[in-house]
Amino acid sequence: MSPRDYPGLSYWLETAGEPLTPRPGLGGDVTVDVAILGGGYSGLWTAYYLLRDHPGLEVAVVEAEICGCGASGRNGGWCSSRYPLHPATLEARYGAEMARETILAMYDTVDEVGRVCEAEGIAADFRMNGILSLARGEAQLAAVRMAQVAYARLGFGEGNRLLDEAAARDRVRVNGIKGALYTPRSAAVHPAKLVRGLARAVERLGGVIYEQTRVRRMRQGADAALETDRGLVRARRAVVAAGEAYLPRTPGFERALVPMSSSIVLTQPLSDAQWAEIGWAGGEGLGSQAHTVDYLTRTPDGRILYGSRGAPYLFGSATEGGEAAFERTSSEMRRQLTDWFPMLRDADFSHAWHGFLGVPRDWNPRVDFDADRRLGVLYGYTGRGVSTTNLAGRLLASLIVGRETPLARLPLAGHPARHWEPEPLRWLGVRYVQDAMKRMDAARDAGRPPPFDAPLAKRLSDQ
Ligand SMILES: Cc1cc2nc3c(=O)[nH]c(=O)nc-3n(C[C@H](O)[C@H](O)[C@H](O)COP(=O)(O)OP(=O)(O)OC[C@H]3O[C@@H](n4cnc5c(N)ncnc54)[C@H](O)[C@@H]3O)c2cc1C
């Protein structure tokens, strides 16, 4: 990223309620206890829990641009209780007991985000609106039922209820809706107000944030430090990698995850008449069963945010370039929204933006602290980081100070990194899977059987 018009990066940053003036950068070498690369939710939650629970610690956050300029200031605003892995995958990989513990930890995480907003006076429009996972067309019903069966088998059937077509339509009048899975215990937030408020909470607790300061390299072991373009931040106890989709640029993390682009288009506020036609009074997060992923949020000022994982992976895990593809994706998404809500045929759109989320090879977020290397890592939320970063930050803070926590049993803790393939294999594989997902969606929408290579694509995407 280069210096830029920060409010122009997303509607959320534009409406964060502050001028987004960068904080001063690092002014020369300093020494702290914990030095954190990245001023998004991951870095800031880690700093927050370190400082709140251990007031004597010296913590610095080093951010290349401004806090929240990455995914944390640009996302769809779902503070979701759903773990990045499907409940059936969680159960198959880690067993029923661990799947249950993980789901309970996610419920608690959503509550915890709300608690901290309340305690720290962060006005992030936190609202417990729930999620509706919709079946759009008969062919999507199987996926909705499968998720409900998986939740019910784990004892969470009550909190994940199946709605038939009439009950789903009663909540929201989406074209082709055939049913839904309703998860009430999930929230929505104003993403930028959350990340910017969190940064201020970290500072109130004594943390120091250097913005406009890029980390070039992370030194580990007895010599642990963040080497930046403005000096050195030495760390007595730990350096932390919290750069998510941008992390592959840092030496040592080139294949830890791939940046996956996600795009958003936003309407102007709709009229009362339009809302009366659409319904959606509960303001739940909406998504369908599309393999290419879609998510819709009703904003507090009456707009519809429509997000999708659309633009293709860029060679070498780049996070710059591909502007023409983003343009194409946004205009296709404006059209897609009228498929969802035909009554919006003439709706005006005010914003379009995109950002990058981080996808690890096993689709499972990773939190780890190696005391010998004095290296902490937390990354790989695959588009579910608004809530999961809180869980990850709490866990990593405990690991760094050596405090026992039941969170250390969860599947995101301490598992070995599975690296992505080197280029050009990575580009070929990711582009192939992205293309296959589109073909699978097209076949399902047209009532055709899945393409012959669907099992291979699913296995490669390994969710
Ligand atoms: C368009 C979009 C929609 C999304 N929607 C949702 C959603 O609705 N719900 C949900 O749960 N998740 C969603 N996500 C994902 C979620 O936003 C992320 O998982 C979460 O914000 C990750 O936080 P983070 O702090 O780990 O990463 P980021 O917010 O990306 O922060 C990383 C920070 O590190 C900084 N950095 C990187 N490298 C360096 C360096 N070398 N030196 C200094 N600083 C560096 C970056 O500038 C950046 O500020 C979405 C993501 C996108 C892009």
At residue 223 the predicted structure's pLDDT band, cuts being 50, 70 and 90, is very high
Could you tell me how far CA 261 lies from the centroid of its own chain?
A: 11
Q: What is the 3-state secondary structure (H, E, C) of the chain?
A: CCCCCHHHHCHHHHCCCCCCCCCCCCCCCEEEEEEEECCCHHHHHHHHHHHHHCCCCCEEEECCCCCCCCHHHCCCCEECCCCCCCHHHHHHHHCHHHHHHHHHHHHHHHHHHHHHHHHHCCCCCCECCCEEEEEECHHHHHHHHHHHHHHHHCCCCCCCEEECHHHHHHHECCCCEEEEEEECCCEECCHHHHHHHHHHHHHHCCCEEECCCCEEEEECHHHCEEEECCEEEEEEEEEEECCHHHHHHCCCCCCCEEEEEEEEEEECCCCHHHHHHHECCCCCEEECCCCCCEEEEECCCCCEEEEECCCCCCHHHCCCCCHHHHHHHHHHHHHHHHHHCHHHCCCCEEEEEEEEEEEECCCCCEEEEECCCCEEEEECCCCCHHHHHHHHHHHHHHHHHCCCCHHHHCCCECCCCCCCCCCCHHHHHHHHHHHHHHHHHHHHHCCCCCCCCHHHHHHHHCC
CATH number assigned to the domain comprising residue 143: 3.30.9.10
Q: Where does a domain end: 357, 383, 412?
A: 357
What is the model's pLDDT at position 462?
65
What is the model's pLDDT at position 427?
92
In sequence order, the 6+-apart residues with CB closer than 8 A to the CB of 166 are none
What is the model's pLDDT at position 32?
98
On whether both 436 and 313 belong to a single domain, the answer is no
What is the model's pLDDT at position 446?
83
Asked if the structure places residue 366 within a domain, the reply is no
Ligand 1: centre distance to CA 164 (Å): 35
Across the range 148-165, mean pLDDT stands at 97
Q: 32-49 pLDDT, tens per residue?
A: 999 999 999 999 999 999
Asked if the structure places residue 9 within a domain, the reply is no
On whether both 343 and 454 belong to a single domain, the answer is no
Q: 380-391 pLDDT, tens per residue?
A: 999 999 999 999
Whether the CB-CB separation of 412 and 76 falls below 8 Å is answered with no
Asked if the structure places residue 154 within a domain, the reply is yes
On whether both 349 and 431 belong to a single domain, the answer is no
Instruction: Name the residue of 263, 386, 394 to mutate for ligand 1: max ligand atoms within 8 A of Cβ.
Output: 386
Q: Which residue did the predictor score with more confidence, 1 or 146?
A: 146
On whether both 173 and 303 belong to a single domain, the answer is yes
Q: 421-462 pLDDT, tens per residue?
A: 999 999 999 999 889 988 998 888 888 888 888 888 887 776
Q: Where does a domain end: 309, 329, 357?
A: 357
Ligand 1: centre distance to CA 136 (Å): 29
Atom of ligand 1 nearest to the CA of 43: 25
Q: Which residue did the predictor score with more confidence, 463 or 236?
A: 236
**pLDDT for 291 beyond 90:** no
Mean pLDDT of the chain: 95
What is the model's pLDDT at position 2?
46
Across the range 350-377, mean pLDDT stands at 96
Q: Which residue did the predictor score with more confidence, 437 or 225?
A: 225
Asked if the structure places residue 328 within a domain, the reply is yes
Range of the domain at 435: 425-461
| pTM across the whole model | 0.96
**Atom 14 of ligand 1: nearest residue by CA position:** 383
**pLDDT for 323 beyond 90:** no
Is the shortest distance between the CB of 71 and ligand 1 below 6 Å? yes
On whether both 329 and 429 belong to a single domain, the answer is no
Asked if the structure places residue 398 within a domain, the reply is no
Q: Total structural domains in the chain?
A: 2
Asked if the structure places residue 340 within a domain, the reply is yes
Q: Where does a domain end: 357, 388, 407?
A: 357
Give exposure, 62-100, as e/b (b: 16+ Cβ within 10 Å): bbbbbbbbbbbbbbbbbbbbbbbbbbbbbbeebeeeebb
Instruction: Name the residue of 67, 72, 194, 377 to mutate for ligand 1: max ligand atoms within 8 A of Cβ.
Output: 72
Across the range 346-365, mean pLDDT stands at 95
At residue 463 the predicted structure's pLDDT band, cuts being 50, 70 and 90, is low
What is the model's pLDDT at position 322?
80
CB atoms within 10 A of CB 342: 12
What is the model's pLDDT at position 447?
84
Is the shortest distance between the CB of 40 and ligand 1 below 6 Å? yes
Asked if the structure places residue 348 within a domain, the reply is yes
Asked if the structure places residue 322 within a domain, the reply is yes
Is the shortest distance between the CB of 368 and ligand 1 below 6 Å? no
Q: 195-220 pLDDT, tens per residue?
A: 999 999 999 999 999 999 999 999 99
**pLDDT for 174 beyond 50:** yes
Is the shortest distance between the CB of 305 and ligand 1 below 6 Å? no
Could you tell me how far CA 226 lies from the centroid of its own chain?
A: 25
At residue 1 the predicted structure's pLDDT band, cuts being 50, 70 and 90, is very low
